[in-house]
Structure 1
Amino acid sequence: MPKQAQADRCVEIGSKAILDAIGDAISIQDRDLRIVYQNPAHIRLMGEHLGEYCYAAYQQKSEACQGCHLLQCFADGEIHRRQSSAVKPDRGVIHVEIVSAPVSDASGAIVGGIESVRDVTDRVLMEERLQKQLAAIETSMDGIAILNSEGEYVYLNHAHAEVYGYPAAAELIGKSWRCLYEDDELERFQRDVLPILFERGAWRGEATGRRADGSRFPQELSLTITKDGGIICVVRDISDLRQSESQLRLLNLDLQARARELTAVNRELESFSYTVSHDLRKPLTVIKGYCELIQEGCGSQLKADCGEYLKEICQGADNMNLLIDALLRFSRISRSELHQQTVDLSAIATTVAAELGMTEPGRRVTFRIAESVTAEGDADLLRVVLDNLLGNAWKYTRGKEQAVIEFGMMGVEGGAAYYVRDNGWGFDMAHAGQLFAPFLRLPGAGAEGYGIGLATVERIVKRHGGKVWAEGEPGKGATVFFTL
């Protein structure tokens, strides 16, 4: 073999060895787009298709693809680049970068083309992820920035620029973060913040920044050192938070002052109520005493109607004493200390029902008391609640041939509600809002009672963190509910 031919053969073998060793997928097509060479990487990526037309092998078409880059190479002799995607059964969608170049013979005539295919799927997916992350950063309400190892801005989102009063992020690119703080704050950073940041790799705390107009503002900062010595900075303006905290402190101080005033007023009112109630007893006792003396000493000399007047005065004094007792009990409800325990309400209701039955043995009243109804609260105060509610039901069923009074428990709004129901006089729901006001009696109550019973129930229930309400209809009874 002549030396030149031998040299050409060596070059050919060497060229093939180079192409076989290249990591990118390489293929060569003739002018008809028939595949005449594939390196091992190309076979792994695209499958072995020697002797096939590229458009049939890769695109399953019967003719060349429109805009084929190899044909463009044959026409203009230039190198062309493009990015494409394809679906692989074993991998799904893959992304490739293709470089197409013409191949010429010794005379310069284009005899075919060579294509280099590089799998860029990982890069494309990474770019897509970065784009999503960048979009999230750009839409973040927090200011986010990246600084190089010199502390200069290389990236910041719009919120970061806005926090410091700059209309555009570009105004801070290349500038040092130090331009955003006063000298005293820079000294604090140098003394207290940066040593911790570089030692631990991260720092989080508060600082005072300076806006573009020179105004200062409180901020929350989160700093993290990157692998190349740069800094990721997240900043948040907390001016509104500080203002809200200040307002909240003032409100709390005002509430504390008002609470102290209210406590003092309540003490004064309780003391006043207690004192007045006791002071009223003396003149009532005197009035009743003199009335009784007049009846005993002069009764025979009095006209009949005068004797009746004296009886009315004595009865009035007795009623006034009973009202004073009720007022004192009502006042003590607010002052007594709560003793929390599990209370058997069914047992209490049974006892109260028995006591009511003894007061009027001749009445026909059916009590329906649910069993095993318990609650957490103060036993003495809850006894007062049932005394009043069952006592009211007893009073407002008077006159019924067959009165029925029920006590039980039911589910309400995810919790438990206790109730006392009767089939007595009932009431108009238009008056429901006034039932628990002191000294107001249910319509039809006549002169019996002082209108303190339901007010006492409401006060006790509220002290237990609950609420009380009533439902009724004239002539069809009433139900009082309460929660604890």
Structure 2
Amino acid sequence: MVWEAREKSPKLVLLLTPLLPAGAALSRVLCHGALGSISPFLTFYPAVVLAALLAGFPGGLLATALSAWLATYQWSAQSGASFSVTSVDRLETAVFLASGIFLSLLVEVMLRARARAEKAEVRARCAAEREQAALAIQRERNFLRQVIDAAPGNIFVLDAAGELCLVNEAMARFHGTTVKEMEGRSILEYLKGPQEITERLCGENREAIAGKIVNSEASFTDAGGRLHHFESVKSPVYEEDGSCDKLLVVSNDVTERRQAEQALKQNQELLNSIISGIPDAIYVKDTAGKYLLVNNAAERFIGKRAAELLGCCDRDVFARQEVPAILRENRVGHDPAEVELFEDTMTDAQGVRRAFLTTQGPLYDAQGNLTGSFGIARDVTEQKLAEEEFHKLNEELDKRVAERTEQLELAMKEQESFSYSVSHDLRSPLRHLNSYAAILKEEHSANISREGRELLDRICKASSKMGKLIDDLLELARTSRAPLNEESIDLSRIATISSLMLRQSDKARRVEFLIAEGIQVLGDKTLMRIVMDNLLSNAWKYTVQEKVALIEVGMELMDGQEVFYVSDNGTGFDMQYKDKLFGPFQRLHGAEFEGNGIGLATVKRAIERHGGTIWAEGEVGNGATFYFTLGREALTYPPQLRQNSAFN
């Protein structure tokens, strides 16, 4: 505390120093009785030491001198007239003076040593504080450097001359260089673009240095030649004295955001275009029932533009008689978990009553809160009218079908009656005719002339031909009305049996049959035998003029469907007459080939009973191929398909 007082007010302390010897003299007077004849300088030593402590060596000298004078004066005052200065007194005074000077000097030396120690301590403390402050500043700078380097945007500081004082890593990466390379160089070296953009940016920089915060947008090319769009904020950087000769620029690359915004805008335009082009009326409402969106179809129905409808509710748009429909639409707000589909009728802008099929549902935000509702109303007026007309036509058709069914049933009965007549009424006289002709030929041939015998032979042949025709007609009738018993059939085996029967009928002919093995189909065995017998007999008949006849049975794939075929290298036919092939009693060849035109008609009817189709391809002199399907997949594929055919 003494040292602090001396340091704060040295002159005041020096002026107060004489008070210490005075106090010592006063204490000597007050304690005279107790002290007696003890040396008068005894009470002044503490005063000298205190004065030296307070005021240093000058204060100690002053206190020593005053104390010596006061002690001598006090001593003489006590002795009275008998006072005389002896050598002892002089010695004692000299000792006091020397002691006071010594003590003052000693105290001064101690005080100065302490002052030096304290100053050294202060300097050391200041140095440590400066070092800590420097470390703190360096840490703060490193932290700030890490922060700006970690920032995704470009951050840099420019001085008034346009030189880069500070650059972050993002800025350096964008320009394909390093921070050290960029700092200290002019920003103009990195501004690549039209002159007017550069001038605008420099003008913005001057405004920022003048103390204004400037928002800027510009596009720059990176080191790879890719164009980026930036949004920048330019702020002034002030010195401690309030002056500003630098600016801070923070630039964010908004290229992806702009691209996303552009894509969103395009998608929105596309969506609006699609919604506008949809013929159904589409609308969106908020939770209060006010329109937020309507498309062109809704505008046409209501008779108002979208600008007039947005912000309005149904009560502002529709007539009072439409209130039930309005209430039905508003049910979405009461039960937002459901999407409703209902039919209703409303009056359009032209006053025409129209029917609508409407779908309504709720709309939610990302947090699941109900934000409104949507509706899609399809005008089904024409559909309703068409349905009514369709019902009328169906009723008329049902009536006609019933009538036609009755007619068909009658026709079937007549056909059955016809078949019975053919099989009994016609066969009986035909058998009698054949019998009488045979009796005449065997027993009375001697009485008949040669010409009569020839006529009798013709009668027998005609009768036989008529019998064959009757059999074919009966087979055609049975093919049409016989019940269909479907089962797994080995079509290859049926074709093989038919080929063996044909060989037995004329063993002299050279005919090569190529029949694919393992063709399993699902069908009626009797009808499929009729099909194969007729097709193979047809091929056998029209290859009679060939020295070596080839007949092939197989299966191939056409558009993923199994197609069966019977091919031959016989006479063939002209394709312009292909539509007559499968008609009853239709023949494309002359009398040189026997037949009555019933076989292929029977084949066609049998195939159609299986839900299939049949067609033929041929060329005069180059054979023919008959194709047919059964309306069902084959159960087993043959090992060799059409690709291995002998006709390829």
Alpha-carbon distance, 1:468 to partner? 1.8
Name which of 315, 339, 349 aligns with 1:203.
Answer: 339
Report what 1:460 is aligned to.
606
**Aligned residue type for 2:523:** G
* Alignment of 1:282 onto 2:425: yes
Quick check: 2:434–2:463 contact (8 Å CA) kept in 1? no
Report what 1:411 is aligned to.
557
Report what 1:172 is aligned to.
309
**Aligned residue type for 2:376:** V
Alpha-carbon distance, 1:449 to partner? 2.6
The equivalences for 1:127-166 within 5 A come to: 127-140=261-274, 141-142=277-278, 143-162=281-300, 164-166=301-303
Q: Judging by fraction of residues, say which structure has more helix.
A: 2
Moved more, 303-312 or 355-364: 303-312
**Per the alignment, do residues 148 and 299 of structure 1 end up closer, same or farther by CA in structure 2, a change over 3 Å counting?**
same
**Aligned residue type for 1:55:** L
**Per the alignment, do residues 169 and 235 of structure 1 end up closer, same or farther by CA in structure 2, a change over 3 Å counting?**
same
* Alignment of 1:471 onto 2:624: no
**Per the alignment, do residues 36 and 286 of structure 1 end up closer, same or farther by CA in structure 2, a change over 3 Å counting?**
closer
* Alignment of 1:379 onto 2:525: yes
**Aligned residue type for 1:390:** L
**Aligned residue type for 1:368:** L
RMSD: 4.5
Report what 2:216 is aligned to.
82
Report what 2:232 is aligned to.
98
**Per the alignment, do residues 174 and 130 of structure 1 end up closer, same or farther by CA in structure 2, a change over 3 Å counting?**
same
Alpha-carbon distance, 1:401 to partner? 4.0
Name which of 349, 356, 366 aligns with 1:212.
Answer: 349
**Per the alignment, do residues 438 and 218 of structure 1 end up closer, same or farther by CA in structure 2, a change over 3 Å counting?**
same
Name which of 21, 32, 35 aligns with 2:161.
Answer: 32
Task: With a CA cutoff of 8 Å and minimum separation of 6, indicate the structure with the bigger relative contact order.
Answer: 1
* Alignment of 1:185 onto 2:319: no
Report what 2:104 is aligned to.
none
Name which of 321, 324, 332 aligns with 2:478.
Answer: 332
Report what 2:191 is aligned to.
59
Aligned to 1:59, the other structure's residue is in SS state coil
Quick check: 2:574–2:618 contact (8 Å CA) kept in 1? yes
Q: How far does the alpha carbon of each residue in 1:449-475 deviate from its partner, in whole angstroms, 9 at most, with x for none?
A: 321111111122223333222233334
**Aligned residue type for 1:185:** A
Distance in 2 between the 1:51 and 1:437 partners? Answer: 102
TM-score if structure 2 supplies the norm length?
0.59
Quick check: 2:437–2:459 contact (8 Å CA) kept in 1? no
Alpha-carbon distance, 1:275 to partner? 1.2
Alpha-carbon distance, 1:28 to partner? 4.8
* Alignment of 1:69 onto 2:69: no
**Aligned residue type for 1:34:** E
Distance in 1 between the 2:172 and 2:373 partners? Answer: 44
**Per the alignment, do residues 366 and 60 of structure 1 end up closer, same or farther by CA in structure 2, a change over 3 Å counting?**
closer
Quick check: 1:277–1:324 contact (8 Å CA) kept in 2? no
**Aligned residue type for 1:341:** E
The equivalences for 1:241-390 within 5 A come to: 242=384, 260-280=402-422, 281-282=424-425, 285-286=428-429, 289=432, 304=449, 316-390=462-536
Quick check: 1:74–1:110 contact (8 Å CA) kept in 2? no
Alpha-carbon distance, 1:213 to partner? 3.0
**Per the alignment, do residues 318 and 467 of structure 1 end up closer, same or farther by CA in structure 2, a change over 3 Å counting?**
same
**Aligned residue type for 1:132:** Q
Quick check: 2:157–2:165 contact (8 Å CA) kept in 1? yes
Distance in 1 between the 2:214 and 2:383 partners? Answer: 58
Distance in 1 between the 2:434 and 2:535 partners? Answer: 36
Name which of 365, 368, 378 aligns with 1:237.
Answer: 378
Distance in 1 between the 2:292 and 2:430 partners? Answer: 96
Q: How far does the alpha carbon of each residue in 1:15-55 deviate from its partner, in whole angstroms, 9 at most, with x for none?
A: x99xx899997755333223456799999999966544333
**Per the alignment, do residues 322 and 471 of structure 1 end up closer, same or farther by CA in structure 2, a change over 3 Å counting?**
same
Gaps of 5+ in 1: 1-12
Distance in 2 between the 1:342 and 1:295 partners? Answer: 46
Report what 2:83 is aligned to.
none
Gaps of 5+ in 2: 1-136, 631-648
Quick check: 1:424–1:475 contact (8 Å CA) kept in 2? yes
Aligned length: 461
**Aligned residue type for 1:203:** V
**Per the alignment, do residues 124 and 290 of structure 1 end up closer, same or farther by CA in structure 2, a change over 3 Å counting?**
closer
**Per the alignment, do residues 213 and 286 of structure 1 end up closer, same or farther by CA in structure 2, a change over 3 Å counting?**
same
Which entry has the higher C-alpha Rg, 1 or 2? Answer: 2
Moved more, 381-390 or 423-432: 423-432
Q: How far does the alpha carbon of each residue in 1:38-79 deviate from its partner, in whole angstroms, 9 at most, with x for none?
A: 7999999999665443333x5369x99623334256379776
Aligned to 2:550, the other structure's residue is in SS state strand
**Per the alignment, do residues 325 and 36 of structure 1 end up closer, same or farther by CA in structure 2, a change over 3 Å counting?**
same
**Per the alignment, do residues 399 and 144 of structure 1 end up closer, same or farther by CA in structure 2, a change over 3 Å counting?**
closer
Moved more, 370-379 or 292-301: 292-301
Moved more, 331-340 or 41-50: 41-50
